[in-house]
Structure 1
Amino acid sequence: MLTTACASVPVIPQEGKFPVPPPPDYRQAGNWAALPTTDDYADRTPADSILDRQAIARADVFFIHPTIYAGTRKHNKLWNASLKDDKLNESVDKSTILNQASIFNGAGKVYAPRYRQANLSVFYDNGAAVKTQALDTAYADVLAAFDHYLTHFNHGRPIIIAAHSQGTLHAIRLLADRFVGQALHQQLIVAYLVGMPVRKREFADIPVCTDPEQTGCFVSWRTYREDYVPDPERNDTSIAVVNPLSWTTATTRAPSSLNRGGVLYNFDGGPIPGLVWAEIRGAFLYTNKPSFFGDIFFRSQNYHVADYNFFWSNVRHNAGARVQCYLRKQ
């Protein structure tokens, strides 16, 4: 969920019914937020010295975006977003595709499907009754998009799976359905499963990454301000946390000097080196409050919206390093 704003509640389906918008046809380029063959926000970089290398990339990135559908809209009042909602599509493009998917254009060709994302409300009590149905509908699209990608675009190339929040929930299912115990596992470079809790032993044959160049593994973290105190039941030691500055599971603090550059609300302002430090404590990743113009209004202890942005350059560099390591092994 890229947004943490309060959401208005969509129309609750009648008992025994769950109306949804029509499914997308992934043969149509308009049903993709990013393709390497189109001009889109995943092609952007925050500085002239940072290049979009998709044209020469030897790997692919399948990116699953987080929740942007956070309220009822003029053309869609259902629990799942309509892909005909142009305003919502624009919001997806200018937020998560720009700030998150763009990270990976230096490591691979970026494919990011639009999908009938579940409304933000399903993650709160007022959406509990329809949560499974809404998320299943969203995942059906993600799986269909991935299968279309495999059939028409992949051509046996190595793959990075990258996701955030709701997207990570779908990525977990996708890895279980298409990679675990299957031949496609051999094409997996790494999975970035960010913004949701992922168990260390979630997958039988995809371990937690403990080294910055390890491949065939996954990384995960959820970011909070250093003074955040979680409820004890949330601090589950079975949850995987990888530090995106050291790319290990060590609990020692990785200093801000290791931060190659975070990207804040002014994307074109370029990465800010040394933005935050990072430290694993239990099931969470902690950082200091970053210093930037207007930071007095940045009061949240939950840095979910910045899970990628605080470590933008480090994730970009790491994705490229893992691609090169994978290719050397082949």
Structure 2
Amino acid sequence: MIRTLASAAALGMGLLAAGAAQAQTAQAAQAAEPARTDYADKANWLCFPGKANDACAVDLTTTVIKADGSSTIETFKADPKAPIDCFYVYPTVSTDPGVTSDLKADPAELNVVKQQLARFGSKCRIYAPMYRQFTLAALRSMMLGQPLPGSTDPSARQVGYQDVVDAWNHYLTHENKGRGVVLIGHSQGSGVLQRMIPAEVEGKPVQKQLVSALILGSNLPVEAGKDVGQFKTIPLCKSASQTGCAISFVTFRADAPPPAGSRFGKVPQPGMEAACTNPAALGGGTGELKAYLSNNANIAAASQPTPEWVKGKSNPETPFVALPGLITGECVSKDGFNYLSAKIHADPADPRTDVINGDVVNGGQVLADWGLHLIDVNIAMGNLVDVVGQQSKAYLAKAR
């Protein structure tokens, strides 16, 4: 089941990133509006401060493995009194059978917030709504040119966006209370945010409260050589002391850059290019990527076996592993693509693994055009959390 889920995720995650920001078709606008989701009911939230069975209240203990094979244990504790908030929209993970998912949190939704979101709880209070997203089953059908499963109603592809907008407005009305907020998305979730931010944030009073927007694993269009584009008034972040800005990147291995026809790293709009901001070096250049990698089979990249982290030793029992000094990242512009190039500094002479999983694999073949999409967030998690922490301090200093 885990491998099946991973294979499905490999086919589905990110496909909406480019298309989700498009306007509704006239036909969809004329369709009967689906029932709205009640976000006053905490059952419709994955993560919500004080919620019983909060999906973000999970074990994030990490084994930190040095190059010589020695290790230490890093514990984690969320801060319930964090001074800012994070609002998260998750990627395509639903294994429900129809076009859109239900609002029940299945293992796939629970796992993705553990991988991509919960660690931000050291810097912000976390809000993560369930939403009726476009499912993996629907994406597979679309990719194969088959009818969408269970529905021909075009409004089915809009209900997830409306859910997120409703959750956002509920959060602003009842929970925000003037606090700064970070918007976080990956893949389909980033696509939703690319559409929501211009409509619901830019030019609205809440824009003054935007600490930053993390638009991850998605092609965010910016004008060539500039820091704005689809977001007209939210530039790309150039330093961790900058607020009201955006961080966006897609990840490829340094030795496996985007091939011709890649779905990531390029946008179709004339005069535009895909944004790349390196969270390890926002001002440009190369920096160490502080990855938090899953240490069990219950991960998005489970189509590849968990590595032997230290040769000749049993793997640790913690849910995450960190490998300081092993990976660096740099934003690269090459052959019309802009992407975060992740270089693995392998050393066959030391006992630590030289293997980092994260490629999309289908039928035993690596799909090169996806890059390291499955671990876009994991590979830079430590950097992103650090940046959010620094931006929080900068935001609060300005707000005084």
- What TM-score, normalized to structure 1? 0.82
Corresponding residue of 1:79 = 99
- 2:340 counterpart of 1:285: yes
Corresponding residue of 1:10 = none
- 2:120 counterpart of 1:51: no
Corresponding residue of 1:62 = 87
Residue-by-residue CA offset, 1:207-240 (whole Å, 9 max, x unaligned): 1111122100001000111222332686456211
Corresponding residue of 2:286 = 253
Q: Indicate the structure whose relative CO is greater, using CA pairs within 8 Å and at least 6 residues apart.
A: 2
Using the TM superposition, give the Cα deviation of residue 285 of structure 1 relative to its aligned residue in structure 2, in angstroms: 1.2
Given the superposition, is the C-alpha separation of residues 56 and 50 from structure 1 closer, same or farther in structure 2, using an over 3 Å criterion?
same
Find 1:112's aligned residue among 124, 128, 134. 128
- 2:217 counterpart of 1:195: yes
Using the TM superposition, give the Cα deviation of residue 271 of structure 1 relative to its aligned residue in structure 2, in angstroms: 2.8
Given the superposition, is the C-alpha separation of residues 311 and 167 from structure 1 closer, same or farther in structure 2, using an over 3 Å criterion?
same
Residue-by-residue CA offset, 1:55-88 (whole Å, 9 max, x unaligned): 1111110011001025xx4xxx32100114x5xx
Corresponding residue of 1:166 = 188
Corresponding residue of 2:38 = 25
Contact 2:234–2:244 (CA under 8 A) maintained in structure 1: yes
How many Å separate the matches in 2 of 1:280 and 1:131?
Answer: 41
Corresponding residue of 2:18 = none
Residue-by-residue CA offset, 1:157-178 (whole Å, 9 max, x unaligned): 1110001000001111221122
Contact 2:358–2:375 (CA under 8 A) maintained in structure 1: no
Find 1:5's aligned residue among 4, 10, 24. 10
Using the TM superposition, give the Cα deviation of residue 263 of structure 1 relative to its aligned residue in structure 2, in angstroms: 2.4
**SS class of match (1:220):** strand
Find 1:222's aligned residue among 222, 244, 250. 250
Aligned length: 308
Contact 1:261–1:275 (CA under 8 A) maintained in structure 2: no
Residue-by-residue CA offset, 1:9-54 (whole Å, 9 max, x unaligned): xxxxxx999899854321111110101112423233334533211x
Q: State which structure, 1 or 2, has the greater radius of gyration over its C-alpha atoms.
A: 2
1:42 alignment partner AA: C
**SS class of match (1:326):** helix
Corresponding residue of 1:320 = 389
2:56 alignment partner AA: A
Corresponding residue of 1:12 = none
How many Å separate the matches in 2 of 1:5 and 1:178?
Answer: 31
**SS class of match (1:277):** strand
- 2:108 counterpart of 1:91: yes
Percent identity among equivalent residues?
Answer: 25
Find 1:41's aligned residue among 50, 55, 75. 55
How many Å separate the matches in 2 of 1:101 and 1:216?
Answer: 20
- 2:212 counterpart of 1:207: no
How many Å separate the matches in 2 of 1:270 and 1:297?
Answer: 12
How many Å separate the matches in 2 of 1:204 and 1:296?
Answer: 37
How many Å separate the matches in 2 of 1:202 and 1:324?
Answer: 27
How many Å separate the matches in 1 of 2:324 and 2:153?
Answer: 39
1:273 alignment partner AA: P
Residue-by-residue CA offset, 1:310-330 (whole Å, 9 max, x unaligned): 111111111111101110111
Contact 2:89–2:184 (CA under 8 A) maintained in structure 1: yes
Contact 1:221–1:242 (CA under 8 A) maintained in structure 2: yes
Residue-by-residue CA offset, 1:258-278 (whole Å, 9 max, x unaligned): 333432344623433224111
Residue-by-residue CA offset, 1:164-219 (whole Å, 9 max, x unaligned): 00000111122112211111110000000001100121112111111122100001
Contact 1:262–1:309 (CA under 8 A) maintained in structure 2: yes
How many Å separate the matches in 1 of 2:186 and 2:210?
Answer: 18
How many Å separate the matches in 2 of 1:290 and 1:102?
Answer: 28
Structure 1: stretches of 5+ with no match in the other structure:
8-14
Contact 2:251–2:341 (CA under 8 A) maintained in structure 1: yes
1:280 alignment partner AA: C
How many Å separate the matches in 2 of 1:169 and 1:298?
Answer: 21
- What TM-score, normalized to structure 2? 0.69
Find 1:263's aligned residue among 285, 293, 297. 293
Given the superposition, is the C-alpha separation of residues 124 and 18 from structure 1 closer, same or farther in structure 2, using an over 3 Å criterion?
farther
Corresponding residue of 2:278 = 243
Give the helix-richer structure, 1 or 2.
1
Residue-by-residue CA offset, 1:229-253 (whole Å, 9 max, x unaligned): 33268645621100121123x3x33
**SS class of match (1:278):** strand
How many Å separate the matches in 1 of 2:55 and 2:343?
Answer: 29
Contact 1:21–1:81 (CA under 8 A) maintained in structure 2: no
Corresponding residue of 1:152 = 174
Contact 1:161–1:192 (CA under 8 A) maintained in structure 2: yes
Given the superposition, is the C-alpha separation of residues 232 and 29 from structure 1 closer, same or farther in structure 2, using an over 3 Å criterion?
closer
**SS class of match (2:191):** helix
How many Å separate the matches in 1 of 2:179 and 2:356?
Answer: 46
1:329 alignment partner AA: K
**SS class of match (2:196):** helix
**SS class of match (2:182):** strand
Given the superposition, is the C-alpha separation of residues 323 and 61 from structure 1 closer, same or farther in structure 2, using an over 3 Å criterion?
same
